[in-house]
Structures are given as structure tokens and as C-alpha cells.
Amino acid sequence: MKYYIKLGLILLLITSVASGILALLNNKTQPIIEENQRKEAEQARKEVLPEATVFEEVTTPDFSYYIGKNADNQIVGYTFVASKFGYSSEVKTMVGVNPDLTIKKIKIISQSETPGLGANCMKPDFAPKFEGLKLEKLKVDKDGGDIKSITGATITTRTVTNSIKEALEKLMNILPKNNIFEEKSAEEVSR
């Protein structure tokens, strides 16, 4: 019995030393990792909503998004992340919408779909397909919409399209509730 306790203690000692070292390293690397992620997200937001100089985060239990405002404190649009599981991975897309809720620009920020097929969604000819579209037009051609599927990658195309559609619907439901429409958008002010 005493033998087994000794074995257990030695193993515990090794594990404790290891855990201690890892904890120290974790303290050093965690902040760097979080900062990287923050910067990446900020950069993606800027890309899909270039006129915005400042982003305000709005978090609700179901959905979070950012309000983009320009230097004159006018709303130039909104950004949110649409996420859905595709063929072999979670596909995350940063979406920028105009104040009238048409798509301004999208950027796929993370995916591990099949190389040569679904992964072609990262090619420069894919994202522009979504620009200027309203909610009703967000459908893959096979589902009766305007978005032409990538050859051999209907699943990935459908995933991106539907994820944006669902997220946009959530945004449309939340906006009136947050009385955002009371603030004048940049377009309205210039009229």
C-alpha cells in the first residue's frame, strides 16, 4: 500500500512541476494571444465597413454586433459575425451592412473547408457576390436565389449564405428594440 502511495506522490510531483511551469508560460502568452485576436477582429471590421472610424459594441444574450460611426458621430453601418458549421469546419464571416441593412461587404475570417473546393470561398471572386444584396436575395442559386455556388462546393456556399441571412435576421429583429433608428444615419442627415 505504501508503495502505491509513493508511486502516486512521485507522479503528483512531476505533474505539479509541469503545471507550475505551464501556468507561468500561460500568463506570458495569454495576453499576447488575446491581443492578436482583438486586433484581427478590429481589422476585419474596418475592412467590411471602411467609412467607420469608431465601433461601439452592443451585446445581447442572443447576438452581438457593432455600430460603426464616422468622425461626425453618424451611423455608417453595422458589423457582426455570421457563423455556421460547413462541410468540415465552422465558417465565420465578418459582415458589414449599410444603415439600410443591405450588405456592404463581407470577409470570411475563419474556415477549414476542403482545399480546392470549399476553401475556394477565400478566393477574391467569392466575397463580392454578396455586396449590395438585401435580405431576400440571400439565397444560393440552387435554393432559388442569386448567389452562384462555387463549383463542387455547394455546401460551403450555402453555409456562408445562410449564416449571413440568419445573422442579418437577428440584427433586424434587435435594432428597433434598441431604438437605434432614433439616431439619424449619415445618409438622412445629408439629405
Partner 1 sequence: MEFVGRIFTMAIAAIFVQNFVLARFLGLCPYIGVSKKLDSALGMGMAVIFVMTMASTFTWMIQSFILIPLKLEFLQTIAFILTIASLVQLVEMIIQKTAPALYKALGVYLPLITTNCAVLGVSILNIQSNYSFIEAIFNGFFAGLGFTLVLALMAGIRERLDKAEVPASMKGMPIAMITAGLMALAFLGFAGLKF
Partner 2 sequence: MSLIKEFTKGFVKENPVFIMALGLCPTLAVSSSVQNAIGMGFAATFVLIFSNIIISLIKGFIPSKIRIPAYIVVIASFVTIVDMVMHAFLPPLHKSLGLFIPLIVVNCIILGRAEAFASKNNVLKSFVDGLGMGLGFTLALVVIATIREILGAGQFFGINVLPKSYIEKPMLVAILAPGAFLIMGLLMGLMNIAKKKK
Residues in touch with partner 1 (CB under 8 A): 15, 18-19, 22-23, 26, 85, 87-88, 90, 154-155
What angle (nearest 5°) sits at the alpha carbon of residue 39, between those of residues 125 and 51? 60
Q: Among residues 51 and 166, whose Cβ is nearest to partner 1?
A: 166
Q: Does 26 bind partner 2 (CB under 8 A)?
A: yes
Q: Which window, 17-25, 55-63, 124-132, 175-183, contacts partner 2 (CB under 8 A)?
A: 17-25
**Residue 179 DSSP SS3:** coil
Count of Cβ atoms closer than 10 Å to residue 75 Cβ: 22
Count of Cβ atoms closer than 10 Å to residue 53 Cβ: 13
Q: Among residues 40 and 56, whose Cβ is nearest to partner 2?
A: 40
Least gap, CB of 165 to partner 1 (angstroms): 18
| Cβ proximity of 88 and 113 under 8 Å | yes
Least gap, CB of 150 to partner 1 (angstroms): 13
Place of cell 429583429: 173
Least gap, CB of 5 to partner 1 (angstroms): 17
In sequence order, what are the residues at sequence separation of 6 or more whose Cβ sits closer than 8 angstroms to the Cβ of residue 134?
101, 102, 103
* Binding site residues, partner 2, CB under 8 A: 6-7, 10-11, 14-15, 18, 21-22, 25-26, 29, 32-33, 36, 40, 110, 112, 114-117
